[in-house]
Amino acid sequence: MDVTKKNIFLTGAPSSGKTTVIRKVIRNLDIPANGFYTEEERVAGRRVGFLMNTLDGSKGYLAHQDIRSQFHIRRYGVSIENIETIAVPSIIPVSRNVIILDEIGKMECFSEVFRQAAVKALDSPNIVVGTITLGGDDFILGIKKREDLEIHEVTLHNRDLLPDVILRNISDLLKQMADSQ
């Protein structure tokens, strides 16, 4: 029997639909989950920033064009404080919850605290569903090489199918975990 890897990640070009897939997975999960997902903030059709939303209702800016920060990606100042007070606590493993981690990307990885929390989540017995940037630095490339991680590239052709693939993988993993106890 093929063992499904417990860390299920999506990658793809910006605006390929990674977060849309994650949100559909969250909506259709029938087991408890914790974590966060990101979304763009647009004003008059123009992207001005990125919000982090936790599954328990907290939210804050990951990055915004008006944030003053020593950390920048293009015109966006990155809020290390929000990463560490909103995203990090949301991905702490809780009992048998699925952990949603959207995303392991350049902005989030400016925070060493976030990097450590992401590795703890991946190392935990919990199933982790997340997104990871295309390319990346040594830390991100190291995450992608993990034996317990499977990565699906989101494309125009598969993005509508991926939520069901991921939900089926979660179901298979839960069966495997129950059978091994």
* Residue 51 confidence (pLDDT) above 90: yes
Task: Dump pLDDT digits (tens) for 82-118.
Answer: 999 999 999 999 998 999 999 999 999 999 999 999 9
DSSP 58: -
What are the two backbone dihedrals, phi and then psi, of residue 13, each rounded to the nearest 5 degrees?
Answer: -65, 155
pLDDT band of residue 146 (cuts 50, 70, 90) is very high
Domain 7-37+90-179: which CATH class? alpha beta
User: In this predicted structure, what is the pLDDT of residue 132?
Assistant: 97
The overall average pLDDT reported for the chain is: 95
> Do the Cβ atoms of 140 and 104 come closer than 8 Å?
yes
Type of residue found at 51? L
Average pLDDT over residues 166-175: 95
Task: Give the separation between CA 94 and CA 97, rounded to whole angstroms.
Answer: 6
User: In this predicted structure, what is the pLDDT of residue 14?
Assistant: 85
Q: Which of 102, 100, 105, 106 is nearest to 126 (CA)?
A: 100
Question: Token pair for residue 80?
Answer: 């290390």
User: In this predicted structure, what is the pLDDT of residue 1?
Assistant: 41
DSSP reduced 3-state for 141: helix
* pLDDT cut 90: percent of the chain above it: 92
User: In this predicted structure, what is the pLDDT of residue 180?
Assistant: 82
What does 78-110 look like in DSSP terms, one character per residue?
Answer: E-HHHIIIIIHHHTS--TTPEEEEEEE-TTGGG
Q: How far is CA 58 from CA 30, 80, 119, in A?
A: 21, 16, 22
